[in-house]
Structure 1
C-alpha cells in the first residue's frame, strides 16, 4: 500500500465525507499579495451543520477590507446564519467605525444581539459564538470574539492568540453576580446554568440574563514578520494547540489547502464537532 493510499484510508476511518464546504479568494490591491482560503466539515452529531463562515474582500470608500468570520451555532443554525448575513454590515454601518473602531464593533455586537433576541420566535432559542477579523488595507487587523472560536496569528513561526476563550469558570464571578451559576460536573466541561459551555454568545434567550455578548477586541499591525492568520471554531482547538496548528501549515503556501489540511488534522485527532477554518496568508 502506497503512502497516499494509507493516508486516504486514515481519512476514511477518521470520518471524512463529502459534507464539506470550501473556497478561496485574494486581495485586489496590486501592491499586496494576500490570499485566503476556508474549509468546513460537518461533525458526527445528528443535527445539521451549525458552523458558518464569511471570507471576502470588499471595497468600502477608498479602502479595501478583508472580512473574515467563524460563527459556531448551538441549538440550531438560524442564529449563526443570521450573523453571517448581518453582523459585518452592522459593524460597517456604525458611524464611528473608521475613527473608534473598537467602540464601533462592540456597539454593533450589542445591537446585533438585541435584534437576535427580538427575533427569537423566528430564529429559535439557540445561539452562536463568533470570531470576526477585519483587515484594513492589508495593514491593520481588528479581531473580536465572543465564545470559544479562536483567532491565532503566526509571526516568525510563533503562534499568538488574538482572541480570548470565554470559559464559564473564568467568568464565574460575573455570571453569579447576575444570578446565574456555573456547574463543574466530573466528566463534563464547565457550563453556565448547567447548559452552555461558553460564558459569552449571541442569542440564547433563556440564558441571556446570565450571559454577555460583549466581545473581546484587539487591534494589531500587519508587519513584514506576519505570515498568516488562522480563524477556527472549537472543533479544531479542542484537539490542537495554537502552536501545533501553526506548525501544521507552516509550509503550505496555498491558503485553501492549508485550511483544509487543518480540518483534516482535527478529524485525524478524533474531533467530533463541526470544524470550520479560515487561513489568511500575508505574502
Structure 2
C-alpha cells in the first residue's frame, strides 16, 4: 500500500501537543504502518527556532527514514528534508535499485544544490554560508537496510536474543558518529590536515574543529568547505579569520549495509539530543518494554522508531 510522505510540517501530519513540563512543543505519532512494518515519531522543540526536520517515505518497494539535525539556522535541514529523498528515488530508478553508490550520489547532489542556494542567497543573506545540518538516513528495500550518516545523529537496532529461555534484546549500533569528541574522529581529521596544528582545539569545554564546530561531516557549512565563502561578515560571527587551505568538513556519508533478519525487532533513528541522555542499550531497552507508546517515552529532539516485520 502506498503511503504519503510526511514532507509537510510535522504538526500538520501528526498533530501537536505541549512537551513534558512545558519544555517545548512535541509532535508525535504512535505506530503508523510502512512497507516493512510500523513506525512512530516524536519531536521536541528544544530551541526557540526549530532547526530539526524528520521524515518517513514509504512505497511498495522501499522505505526511507530521515533525521536532519540543523545548526546555525533551519535552512539546511529544511533543504535536505525537501530534496534528499527525491534524489535517492531518482538515482535508484536510474541505476536499477538502491545501493551505497546511489545513496552517495543523492547526498552529493543534495550538497551541491544547497551550495548553489547559498551562492544565490549570499548577497542578501550572508549568514547562510554558516548554516548546516547533520543528516541520518535509513533505506530499506528487499529486506536490506542501508544506513547513511553525516554528523552525530545515530541509528541503533534492537535485536532479540534468547538467554536461558528468556527473551531479551541487545543494541546494535548501525551508524558512525562524526564528532571530534571521539578520539578516532579527531585523529581522522588531524591526519587529513598534518600541516595545521590547530585543526582541532579544546575550547568551551569540548573539542571543536577550528574552535567552532564539533561535527566533521554535514550538509552545508560551506564556509568551512569552500574558501570563497569564508569571508566577511562570516569572520565577524566568530571574531577571527579562519584561513582555509582545504575543506575542514565533508559531506561524504559513512554507509553501512545489513540484511534484516527475523530476530531484528526495531530501529531507532535519533539526533544527539537523545544520545547525550541515553546509551544505546538504555534506549533499546525502553523501546523493547514500551513498544506501543514509544513517542510518549522519548521526548528529546527527533526520534523515529521503525518496527521490523519478521523475514
TM normalised by structure 2 equals: 0.74
Query: Who is 1:114 aligned against?
Result: 112
- Unmatched tracts of structure 2, length 5 or more: 1-19, 161-168, 181-185, 226-246
Report the counterpart of residue 48 of structure 1 in structure 2. 49
**Counterpart mapping for 1:1-283 below 5 A:** 11-12=20-21, 15-17=22-24, 19-23=25-29, 24-27=31-34, 34-43=37-46, 45=47, 47-59=48-60, 63=61, 65-94=62-91, 95-96=94-95, 98=97, 101-120=99-118, 121-122=120-121, 124-125=128-129, 126-137=131-142, 139-156=143-160, 157-168=169-180, 169-177=186-194, 181-185=199-203, 187-208=204-225, 209-254=247-292, 257-263=293-299, 266=300, 275-283=301-309
Shift of 1:259: 3.2
Structure 1 stretch displaced more, 119-128 or 85-94: 119-128
Q: CA deviation at 1:153?
A: 0.4
Alpha-carbon displacement from aligned partner over 1:167-215 (angstroms, at most 9, x marks no partner): 2324322452586711112x52211111111000110011112101110
| Unmatched tracts of structure 1, length 5 or more | 1-10, 267-274
Which has the higher mean CA deviation after the structures are superposed, 50-59 or 214-223? 50-59
- What secondary structure sits across from 1:247 in the alignment? helix
Distance in structure 2 (CA, Å) of the matches to 1:177 and 1:107? 29
Verify the 8 A CA contact 1:97 1:104 in the aligned structure 2: no
How many matched pairs? 246
**Structure 2 CA distance for partners of 1:277 and 1:192, relative to 1, 3 Å:** same
Change (3 A) 1:85 1:97: farther
CA distance in 1, matches of 2:103, 2:41: 23
Q: Report the CA distance shift for 1:102/1:148 in structure 2 as closer, same or farther (over 3 A).
A: same
When Rg is computed on C-alpha atoms for both structures, the one with the higher figure is 2
In 2, Cα distance between the equivalents of 1:278 and 1:175?
A: 34
Q: Indicate the residue corresponding to 2:240 in structure 1.
A: none
Indicate how the Cα distance of structure 1 residues 85 and 178 shifts in structure 2: closer, same or farther if over 3 A, else same. farther
Greater relative contact order (CA < 8 Å, ≥ 6 in sequence): 1
How does the TM-score come out when normalised to structure 1?
A: 0.81
RMSD: 2.1
